[in-house]
Structure 1
Amino acid sequence: MTARDLAIAANRALAAAGQSDMVWGHAAVRDPDGRGIWIKAPGWGFEEIDGDRIQLVSWDAEVVEGDGAPHKECHIHLEILRHRPDLHGTVHSHAQAAVAFAALDTPLLPISHEGALFGGADVPRFTLTGGLVRTPDLGRALAGTLGDAPAALMPKHGLVAAGTSAEAAVMHAVLLDGACRTQLTAMAAGPVRVWSDGAEAAAKRDECWPPSQIDAGFGYLARKDGRR
């Protein structure tokens, strides 16, 4: 599958996972020829993305292929992928559970398989702004916050996720949102009393989320979308 096709599939998989926010949010895939990123065109929902609604955006944030202007927040993807040459996919969404959980300013605990994605460590949080990440400087700051983590919360805004493949980036976004939703549910019932310690969480991360399981999860979302 080409990077262009992967970008289409990634955006549609996010819709299948319930991360749509009307026309906002985007997934991107590194162009293998070094020209920039493949990203959905502005003004369309995740589930609406097809071959006519995808753009190739250069590292200078200019549209090389496709119609219209680039996303105002394309710098999220450009700067994370520039900062981490090993990464090939990125996601930014306004997943509701992640936004709600970030507002509590409480640690994300490994109380579920999804929570173990971070190996028992809290999820990084980008707090420089709750507004749009619309400049290279803000994109670089976000990339620094993300670091080597699979995903980060953006309080008052959403989440960002990344992976060595488009499939991994999508699944990291989905798993973070799921972990936030599970902890919100537990906290609504009372104090959280049981979670994995660091050693168990790290072991569960390796056991539950190897590449084969990441690909299996993405494959499910692709089948749920029904177009791949």
Structure 2
Amino acid sequence: MTEKDPRETVATSSRIMAATGAGDLIWGHVSVRDPDGRGVWLKQASYGLEEITRERVHLVSPQGEVLEGGGRRHSEFPIHTEVMAARPDVGGVVHVHSRHAVALAAAGAELLPVSHEANYFAGRGVPRFTRTADLILTRDLGRGVAADLGDAQALFLVNHGIVTVGPDLETATVAAVILERACEQQLTTLGYGGSPSWSGPEESLAKREHIYPPEAQHQVWDYLARNLDDVRA
């Protein structure tokens, strides 16, 4: 769990997701587990990811009540609260509508390690939620998302978007960025025809260990955050 102000972490994650192409007008949201167990610190609704500042983040209870902060609450809060309830190891959740990830899942394709990125998900893979492609508006649907996610780090909401998680929001954010890059690379590779190749299970697990240790994931977060600072400078 991050020791930073959770509102700042949510704001930075939101802007990173926008800067890396996951923006979808005013939709998409990220959250941090409240360190005092009251719920989640969640991006406010009615703003684009790129517009989020610490003042546009509020505390939402598991029942959907806004406990601190103003603004409109996202209707899909159960994605965050129910995943957090089911996964004590999770400190941050990302839900966005990344274009290539949506396309790959809708095509019915499995994620293949044709590049470094897909190896990030080696071992547990990226399961699929198919109960509905509509919004996750109820706690029951949120529990279904959590159940299909299982112990994985990412989930395709087929015809809808993705959910990624991590021990902190920094890791969940990096996972979302990497998943979209992996899906784009796979669609590009398969689009050329020919005889595509990819890593086998043993090599894929080794590549995950070599390329994506926790320290490297946080270095990626720092890199993405620095890029935001460069844009504002």
What TM-score do you get using the length of structure 2 for normalisation?
0.94
Letter of the 1:83 counterpart = A
Identical-residue share of aligned pairs (%) = 45
Output aligned runs, 1:72-91, within 5 Å: 72-91=75-94
| Structure 2 partner of 1:112 | 115
Amino acid at match of 2:115: S
How far apart, CA to CA, are the structure 2 residues paired with 1:216 and 1:17? Answer: 16
Structure 2 counterpart of 1:149: 152
Question: Cα distance, 1:163 vs. partner?
Answer: 0.3
Alpha-carbon displacement from aligned partner over 1:196-224 (angstroms, at most 9, x marks no partner)? 00000011111111111111111111111
What corresponds to 2:58 in structure 1? 55
Residue 207 of structure 1 corresponds to 210
Question: What is the Cα deviation at residue 165 of structure 1?
Answer: 0.9
Q: How many pairs were matched up?
A: 228
Residue in structure 2 matching 1:7, options 6, 10, 13: 10
Contact 2:7–2:55 at 8 Å: present in 1 too? no
Taking the aligned partners of 1:151 and 1:191, their CA distance within structure 2 comes to: 29
**What is the aligned partner in structure 1 of residue 101 from structure 2?**
98
1:134 is matched with 137
The 3-state SS of whatever aligns with 2:162 is strand
- Residue type matched to 1:52 in 2? E
Letter matched to residue 138 of structure 1: L
| Superposition misfits of 4+ residues, deviation over 6 angstroms | none
Letter in 2 for 1:166: L
SS of the equivalent of 1:109 reads coil
- Which runs of 5 or more residues in structure 1 are unaligned? none
User: How far apart, in 1, do the equivalents of 2:6 and 2:55 lie?
Assistant: 15
Tell me the alpha carbon deviations over residues 12-32 of structure 1, each in whole angstroms, 9 at most, x when there is no partner. 111121111111000000010
What's 2:22 paired with? Answer: 19
Quickly say closer, same or farther: Cα 1:199–1:127, change in 2 above 3 A: same
User: 2: CA distance between counterparts of 1:90 and 1:116?
Assistant: 20
- Report if aligned partners of 2:124, 2:151 keep a CA contact under 8 Å in 1: no
User: CA-to-partner distance for each residue in 1:47-98, whole Å, 9 max, x for gaps?
Assistant: 1101221111012110011113421000000000110011100000000010
Equivalent residue, structure 2, for 1:179: 182
Q: What amino acid maps onto 1:92 in structure 2?
A: H
Q: C-alpha offsets along residues 154-213 of structure 1, whole Å, 9 cap, x if unaligned?
A: 111010000001111001111111110000001110155311000000111111111111
Tell me, in whole angstroms, the C-alpha distance in 2 between the residues paired with 1:63 and 1:148. Answer: 28
| 1:32 aligned onto 2:35 | yes
CA distance in 1, matches of 2:55, 2:170: 21
Residues 68-77 or 120-129, more deviating: 120-129
Is structure 2 residue 165 aligned with structure 1 residue 162? Answer: yes
RMSD: 1.4
Structure 2's unaligned 5+ residue stretches are none
Q: What is the TM-score normalised by the length of structure 1? A: 0.96
In the alignment, is residue 217 of structure 1 matched against residue 220 of structure 2? yes
- Report the secondary structure of 1:216's partner residue: helix
d(CA) in 2 for partners of 1:97, 1:107: 13
Partner Cα distance (2:13, 2:122) in 1? 25
